[in-house]
Amino acid sequence: MANNITQRDAFWDRIYEIAETNRDVVIISADMGAPSLDKIRKNLPSQFINTGIAEQNTITLAAGLSMTGKKVFTYAIAPFITLRCLEQIRVECSIMKIPITIVGVGGGFGYEDSGPTHHIIEDMAIMRAMPDIVINNVTDNVMAKAFADISCNLKKPNYVRLDRQILPQIYNENDRFDRGLSVLKKGRDFYIISTGCMTSVALEIIKEFAYETDKIGLIDLYTLPINEKELIKSIDSVKKIITIEEHFLPGGLGSAVCETLIDNNINIPVKRIGLVHDIGYSYIYGGREIIRQHYGIDKKSIIQKIKEFLNEQ
Amino acid sequence: MDNLIKRLEEKSFQIRNEMLDMCIKAGTGHVTSSLSCIDILVALYYGSILRFNPKDPEWKERDRFILSKGQASPALYTILADLGYFDKKELSLFAQKDGMFGVHLQNDVPGAEITSGSLGHGFGIAAGIALGAKMNRDLYLVFTLLGDGECYEGSIWETAMFASYHRLNNLIAMIDRNYLCVTDFTENLIELEPLENKWASFGWEVIRLDGHSFKDMLMVLLDVRSRKRSKPLVIIADTVKGKGIKSLCYDPLWHGLAPKGDIAGVCKLELERGDKYGQ
């Protein structure tokens, strides 16, 4: 699959293919554009709606359309299509269980130059607080494409969280994502569990631990709620777990992993690496790496933290 | 026509009584918000306006009625029970243990269509259904009832702008203009008027009428299916919050409450008497 395109284009290109044959697929954009979306707007005009910058109406409209048999995708920059219309999502998706797909672009610091209004570093916690909404935090283009298909067949509402930037391809075209997580490398003693954009960083990080290559493994966890059975089976009898996320720690991936471990009586040390509330939101510019350094989740800082954690008795 | 109006007035009286009994028994429910819109609902459901089938609530060709002001669920539940959507015994369990439904509207009740209670949602859902009907070339109409206080929600105006631009002339919004919000009269809070101008400027056809006059409502509603205009229609229905029961009218403090004890008895009496002030 072409890797010079963004997750957004990988996702919408696949939706375009599906929408060509399934005329019940409707895309509602809250005034977000993309070359891949232009194609839908131009060639499938009756299946494309632009609601303008009006996210609340976008969600209620999607709910109503869904009640007439449409498979609806709503789209905007991630903070606006989740938090701006959060109460609409709560009532229409979580309470009424209307199976629309909410597509947000710009997970984490994807909009690196746009400041904290456009960063989205608390949405996983907020969205997963509501029952019956599936969160798919996308890792690469192969997965973005796969979640286009998965969303079409899902009987529940879901939130597809796309990265804005072009990220390395990790998966193969025939990889499957229905188990909610993938073991990218098996580990005997330790596991790193990462999500979204941090998985490609984590892949580089485990190279730093080459001297104990059998010991440390990597799991990419992309669907919340966690598939507990699958996670417990995958981590088997490891001694320590490290979680990595470009997201605030309260309620995020690390929280979710800890909840799973505690609820299943697995008492092993966990190091959560992510954004701390003490730093809060930041007006930091100069690129994603600079922002990550500010929060101590750049590659170098993470390696340091992992080394300290693994050396602890 | 006169016979029909007389029948509707009698039905209205019956629904008011049953709704009041239900809320008194439960000790809860938005009684005044229900009283203001009962005549509108009776006109729609008993005046041969809405197409529906209580034996088949999911009938594909039914008109959709979306109660956006979900706090008036006691009015709608009483009517749905009367029409046979579910057993009337459910009304006596309103908001109680093992009851089918509570104070706000829920979508698993036959005929209710949506969950509502949070304002500014149902109107947008109704627009989505109207758009879907157009896409599917379905001919049913989508009716939605809004509260006037609900019009303070920004989402209402997002949808209003959208619906007129997309020529959703199969969408008919009715506004229960009872002039009262939770704490005060709307015009003391933030003026809603001139409400007709606001909707007209958003591209809607606007009709204003007396929401307690069956004659006025039927004159408009009986023609609604043969409308030729491309604009969506909003009917601003002037009403009285607490209509039918003198003691409950014109007092913001009755919002969201059911009368209890001696006052409940007084309310029953006033409703029976058809007191001029409230009736």
Percentage of chain B beyond pLDDT 70 is 98
Q: Is the pLDDT of residue B278 over 80?
A: no
Instruction: Label residue B44 exposed, middle or buried (CB < 10 Å: 0-12, 13-18, 19+).
Output: buried
- pLDDT at position A210: 77
Question: Among candidates B15, B119, B16, which has minimal Cα distance to B70?
Answer: B119
Distance CA A92, CA A98 (A): 6
In a domain, B98, yes or no: yes
pLDDT digits (tens, 9 = 90+) for A102-115: 999 999 999 999 99
Is residue B252 in some structural domain?
yes
Amino acid at site A155: K
Q: Which residues form the domain of B61?
A: 2-273
CATH number for domain A181-311, candidates 3.40.50.920, 1.10.10.10, 2.30.30.140, 3.90.1150.10: 3.40.50.920
A223-278 pLDDT, tens digit per residue, is 999 999 999 999 988 999 999 999 999 999 999 999 999 999 999 999 999 999 99
Q: Which of B106, B114, B137 to mutate to test the interface with A (most CBs of A within 10 A)?
A: B114
- What is the total count of domains within chain B? 1
Mean pLDDT for chain B?
Answer: 96
B107 in reach of chain A (CB within 8 A): yes
- Contact criterion met (CB < 8 Å) for A60 and B125: yes
The answer to the question of residue B279 being in a domain is no
Residue B210 in any domain: the answer is yes
pLDDT of residue A21 exceeding 60, the answer is yes
* B-chain residues near A56 (CB < 8 A): 120, 124, 154-155, 158
Task: Decide if B71 is inside a domain.
Answer: yes
pLDDT, tens only, B58-86:
999 999 999 999 999 999 999 999 999 99
Is B266 inside any structural domain?
Answer: yes
* CA angle, B156 then B160 then B165, to 5°: 155
Of A119-133, A205-219, B156-170, the range with the lowest mean pLDDT is A205-219
Let me know if the fold of A7-162 is the same as that of A181-311.
yes
Contacts of B61 in chain A (CB under 8 A): none
Inside any domain, residue B198:
yes
Reference A78, options A195, A164, A141; nearest CA is: A164
Q: Answer yes or no: do A62 and B127 touch at CB < 8 A.
A: no
Q: Which of B123, B129, B158 is closest, CB to CB, to A67?
A: B129
Angle at the Cα of A57 from the Cα atoms of A51 and A61, rounded to 5 degrees: 85
Structural domain spans, chain A? 7-162, 181-311
Q: Given pLDDT bands bounded at 50, 70 and 90, which one contains residue B274?
A: confident
Model confidence pLDDT, tens digit, residues A171-203: 999 999 999 999 999 999 999 999 999 999 999
Average pLDDT of chain A?
A: 96
Does B132 contact A68 at a Cβ distance shorter than 8 Å?
A: yes
Measured between beta carbons, the chain A residues lying within 8 angstroms of B121 are 60, 88, 91-92
B14: domain CATH number is 3.40.50.970
Residue A60: list chain B partners with CB under 8 A: 121, 123-125, 127-128, 155, 159
Contact A56 B154 (CB under 8 A): yes
> What CATH number should be reported for the domain whose range is A7-162?
3.40.50.970
Closest CA in chain B for residue A63: B125
Q: What gap in Å lies between CA B77 and CA A180, rounded to an integer?
A: 42
